[in-house]
Chains A and B, each alone.
Chain A
Amino acid sequence: MATEAHGAEDKGLELVFHPMDQFMVKPLFGDGGVGTFTITNVTLWMAITVLAVIALMVLGTSGRNTVPSRIQSISELAYGFIRKMVEDVAGKDALPYFPYIMTLFIFIVFSNFLGLLPGAFTATSHIAVTAIMAVAVFLAVTVLGFVKNGFGFLSLFWISSAPLPLRPILALIEVISYFVRPVSHSIRLAGNMMAGHAVIKVFAAFAPMVLIGWVGVLVTPLSIIAITAIYALEVLVAFIQAYVFTILTCVYLKDALHPNH
């Protein structure tokens, strides 16, 4: 194994595993460091996300057709999907917050799918990005809960349907789980996106094995099949994770508006 690798290196060929390089933040212009306002690949792909959102939601609906065009029916589908989700999960009085939830969903779903393009940067695979969104949801929901219900919001932690001796213990568990929410909320999305992309990259690194040794005859087709399969899975995950993030936001919003279960 070692000699084989060594021999391959002599010919200028070796397996290159850099599955994490795709997540690097790089300045778009120049070779300097990354400051807060530097225009980076993050900027580029978020801008592409914004343009894609405008293309679908604004240009796609510019016809205002009673009988919708294809693009318009997709944007109407997205609109109806999230609106119904907000209404079903969080109730009718949550509808004023629908634009915020729609913003989150549209951003995540576009980032996820654009990230699946080869060579793309996936913004939602970064914990910094998802954590900001999760913390924003957490803070907004908590503030909203207290504004709407006053201290009655704390009844969320005091489960009146449980036997009295159990309630303090349950309250402790509820409080802990409440504060863990932003962590699980953000890591779920970033972790899913990162894992899938990294696995694809690892399989991609195995793909040129056929150039190195006879083992490659077996490994190369397998890794290509694996890339295809995982890519298909990632397409599914890209949507499901956006859906999960959004529906959890709706659930948290429901807790804030109706804390009495």
Chain B
Amino acid sequence: MATETHDTAHQAASACVDSHGGAVGLPQVCGEWMGNQIFWLVVTLVVIFFVLSRIALPRIAAVLAERQGTITNDLAAAEDLKVKAVEAEDAYNKALADARVEAQNIVNATKAEIKGQIDDAIAKADADISAKAAEGEKKIAEIRAGALESVKVVAKDTAKEIVAAMGGKADAKSVTAAITARMKG
């Protein structure tokens, strides 16, 4: 066999390896490999333990605690803000109600004022109107009186002329007296 030297070399190296470099039986129960595995396992576990317990776990615990704190603070802040918002809403509503009342007052006051002004203006206008009406009546009366006088004069003149035209002699006094009597009638 060409592999004879190889074979013996392997046999010298391990009883768990066959001549082709394959496993003999269960590698898990090969006694001469166990020491190596146990040694490196212990090394690995110790390293992982120190990495975890010294660095990773305290850091994660701190991060989680910090997050919890942040969440709690934020919730508290949110609660505060909520209370403030409610207060602000109340204040707003109160201000709104006040403003309404005030506006109503202003409206009423203004209405009263305007009403007063209107009343004044109406009274004044009434007074003006009645004054103007009285004046107008007076003027009408005057015009009427003037008209009567004119009619009297025209009637006198016309009567004189008519009398003269009819060949009579008009006595101014009697004509006047006659016209005056007629116009009264």
Interface residues on B, range: 35 or more
How far apart are the CA atoms of A58 and B117 in the complex, in Å?
88
A132 interface residue per 8 A CB criterion? yes
Report B43 CB to chain A, min CB distance, Å: 7
Report B44 CB to chain A, min CB distance, Å: 4
Decide: A125 and B39 in contact? CB cutoff 8 A: no
Q: Choose, from B9-17, B107-115, B166-174, the stretch at the interface.
A: B9-17
Count contacts on A: residues with CB < 8 A to the other chain: 53
Report B68 CB to chain A, min CB distance, Å: 10
Residues 65-94 of chain B, each 1 if its beta carbon lies under 8 Å from chain A, else 0: 011001000000000000000000000000
A40 interface residue per 8 A CB criterion? yes
B5 interface residue per 8 A CB criterion? no
Known: A18-B23, A57-B56. A128 touches B38 (CB 8 A): yes
In the complex, 16 of the A-B residue pairs with CB atoms within 8 angstroms, ordered by the A residue number, are A23-B28, A25-B36, A25-B37, A34-B36, A42-B41, A43-B40, A46-B44, A58-B55, A61-B63, A65-B63, A66-B67, A66-B70, A79-B60, A103-B48, A127-B29, A132-B42
Interface residues of A, Cβ cutoff 8 Å to B: 18, 20-21, 23-25, 31-38, 40, 42-43, 46-47, 49-50, 53-54, 57-58, 61, 64-66, 68, 72, 75-76, 79-80, 98-100, 102-104, 106-107, 123, 125-129, 132-133, 190, 194
Measured between beta carbons, the chain A residues less than 8 angstroms from B51 are: 50, 53-54, 57-58
B62 interface residue per 8 A CB criterion? yes
Report A246 CB to chain B, min CB distance, Å: 14
| Shortest Cβ-Cβ A-B pairs, 9 listed | A57-B56, A23-B27, A25-B33, A99-B53, A128-B34, A36-B35, A46-B44, A20-B23, A103-B49
Decide: A31 and B64 in contact? CB cutoff 8 A: no
Decide: A20 and B26 in contact? CB cutoff 8 A: yes
The answer, among B30, B36, B64, for a CB contact under 8 Å with A40, is: B36
Measured between beta carbons, the chain B residues less than 8 angstroms from A53 are: 48, 51-52
Measured between beta carbons, the chain A residues less than 8 angstroms from B49 are: 99-100, 103
Measured between beta carbons, the chain A residues less than 8 angstroms from B26 are: 20, 23
